[in-house]
Structure formats: C-alpha cells, structure tokens
Amino acid sequence: MANLQSTFLGIKSPNPFWLASAPPTDKKINVLRAFEAGWGGVVWKTLGSQVKNVSSRYSAMDYNGRRAVGFNNIELISDRPLELNLREIREVLKEFPDRAMVISLMADNDRISWHEMVKKAQDTGAHGLELNFGCPHGMVERGMGASVGQDPEIAKMVVEWVMEVATIPVITKLTPNVHSVVPAGKAVIAAGSNGLSLINTIQSITGINLDTLVPNPNVGGQSVYGGYCGPAVKPIALKMLTTLAQNEQTRLVPLSGIGGISTWKDAVEFILLGASNVQVCTAAMISGFKIITDLCDGMSNWMDEKGYKSIDDFVGLSVPKITKWEALDINYHIIANIDQDKCIHCGLCYVSCEDTSHQSISIARGMPYNTYAIKEDECVGCNLCKIVCPVVDCITMVEQRKGDEFLNWTEFQKRGLPLNDH
C-alpha cells in the first residue's frame, strides 16, 4: 500500500498536497474546513502591512465549453489585521498539530520590517515560512512581490535579512514573470533559503467585455494586469520547475511545485519533474476542498500500480528525459495509423493536415461517408492528426526508424551528412 506521507524541509504532513497561499488559506474557518477534508498542509495567505482590496477581483478564460481553463485575480495579500491572522494560526495549529502550517510573508523592503515580520510569524509555532517574491500586481507598484523576485540581487538581500532571524525552514516563492527562474533561485539559495516554490501567477489580461470595452475584472470601468493561474499555466510551471531540477545549484534544495494542478495526474507530473510536494489553489476554488479525496486516492492507486512505496521513490525521475534539441535522435521516426473501425469520418485529421501541415492524409469520397488513409511516405510523424482526432486511440503513432543507429544533430553535423538523406 502506497504511503502518501510527506516530509518537506523536515515539515511533516499526511500527504504531499498543500493549499497554496491564496484566498482559500485566508482565515481560520477556511483552513479548518480544508484540514477536515484531508489536506496535508496550507501556506497561509501572505501577511504583511495591511492592504485594501478592490471589487471585483477575479476573472477567467473559458475555452471550448469548459469554464475557467485559466483564472485571473487582482487580489492583494491579506487585508485582515496582522494580529488576527497570527491568533487564528495559533488556534488552527492546536486543533490540527499533524498538518503542515507554513506562513507566507511580504514585509516592507527594509531589514527591520522583515525581522519583525519573521519573528511574529515564528512565534505562532508555524512549521515554516514562504517568502512571497512573486505577486505580479498591486504589490509590485510598492516595490514588493514580483519586483523583488525579478531582481536576483534584491531577492538575495531580502533572504539574507530573513535568515538573520529565521529559526524555522524558509521557502522562497519565485515569480514566473522573468525569462528564467534559475538566476533568482540560485541567488536566494546562496543567501540561505532552505527551499524554493514555484510558480506564482503570471501577469495577464483574460479578456474584454465587448459591450463595455472594459477588460476583466471590471473595477468601476477600469482594470489592471492580473495574476494568471489555473490549468492553462501548467505547461509553463512544469518547464520552470524542470529548469530548477536540472541546475546543479537549485536542485540541491527541495522544490514545491505550483501551477495549474487540478488532478492527481498533474501532481504526479510535478513530482516526476523534481517537486517534493505540490501546492493547489485554483482547483480548490473552483471545486471545493473535497477534491483532496480524489487527489490522494488517484496518486495512491497509481503508486500501487507502479510499485512505488513513497513519494520519494519517484521525485525527479523524468528530469533526465528532458534534453537539448541537438541531442535528440533524428533517426527516430514515427508515422500515423488510422483505426478504421474507430474512425467516425469527421475529417478533422484530413483538414488539419491538408491545410496546415504536410498533406499526408488521402481522402476517398463516398456515400454515406468519406474515408481517410495515411500517406506513409509523406507522413513526418508530427502528431497533429492524433491531437485533433476526437476519438481516443483512433489515430496512433507507429515507430518506423530511418536508421538503426542513434544519430543526433550534433553528430550529424560533425559527419557532414547531406540534409536530403533525412
């Protein structure tokens, strides 16, 4: 039986699923409901100098009939009194001592403010701190959030201030609003950060109301760039996580994966690419806290099927499979195959290939329907037809190597081989 128990920087929780610092972790009543449902831990919504939020705050991007594929918010850090938050954190810890309690912090940008904030947070008995270097709106204009995370030297300086007084593990949350998260990750580790979490939200505009012409969300006829999250950001989060897991310095500390995790499969993918645990927000906001049951059951069943006894057994196993383009085998070749018994004759494969790809599918017009076949000599194995086909496994890709040996682009050039042979 798989063991979902998780230890991150010495912080123990019954499973690797934490709620990320966000509206779901804003107050005691929310966190208690989450722990009662079975969540392994929370990162309490960011504490700092009290702010005033606006109304409205959220917007979303729908696609092809699915609601909230992407989610946007312009909400700031906690707008509740600091002492109230600290008191409620203490109270939750007494009721659920077996769950991970990490507090997100964003102090004013001076040493004294950070020292005071860290000490107050530690006095609650919390298990760890997460430094919010990622908020992309509102706080940036105050020289905080992403404005810190985008400058490795400033980020390093702030972490050094924190580590002067920190007595519990410190996680630094990185902004994705940069070309690469690696420089900031290296800088904060050099300053003493015990771990990293990513990604925070991505600056975005989800859409415009075509009647009012005001972008969403509408605040009295105006809007601002918001923070984008939800399923749509998962590929970006996975890429940025992997760059940290590949780097010799950043992979030495535990990584907490965040960004579009909605299912147990998403969580497994993050762990396979280097995360030691995961944080969830949007999925809980859309579907409620009880999704934790599906997350835990799904991961546990998969682990049993694969023979993994603990989370640590598969952390980072997919990282070595990400390489550079010039190292890929150019002799590896696949072609599409259409299962005529499963084909519903919609023609999507033909249209996409004929109009935008390699004209590798033939059409035989007839009554009552057309039939389609792959031109094997023309097929380049791009996967487009498989991607657009609405029937699972109707189109599969079959390996047909072009040569017996492994040959990458670097070796291809070194040998001076002619391009037209490939």
Place of tokens 């007494």: 94
* Residues 50, 52: Cα–Cα separation, whole Å: 7
Q: What is the 3-state secondary structure (H, E, C) of 79-139?
A: CCCHHHHHHHHHHHHHHCCCCEEEEEEECCCCHHHHHHHHHHHHCCCCCEEEEECCCCCCC
Q: Are 163 and 221 in contact (CB under 8 A)?
A: no
Is residue 135 annotated as a catalytic residue, yes or no? Answer: yes
Peptide bond just before 320 cis, omega within 30 deg? no
Question: How far is it between the farthest Cα atoms of the chain?
Answer: 80
Tell me if residue 238 falls in helix, strand or coil: helix
Q: Are 223 and 215 in contact (CB under 8 A)?
A: yes
Peptide bond just before 199 cis, omega within 30 deg? yes
Contacts of 268 by beta carbon, 8 Å cutoff, 6+ apart: 299, 302, 314
* Residues 70, 76: Cα–Cα separation, whole Å: 19
Q: Report CA-CA distances (Å) from 246 to 129, 242, 315.
A: 25, 6, 13
Q: Which of 135, 229, 379, 385 is catalytic?
A: 135
* Residues 56, 314: Cα–Cα separation, whole Å: 42
Which residues are identified as catalytic? 135
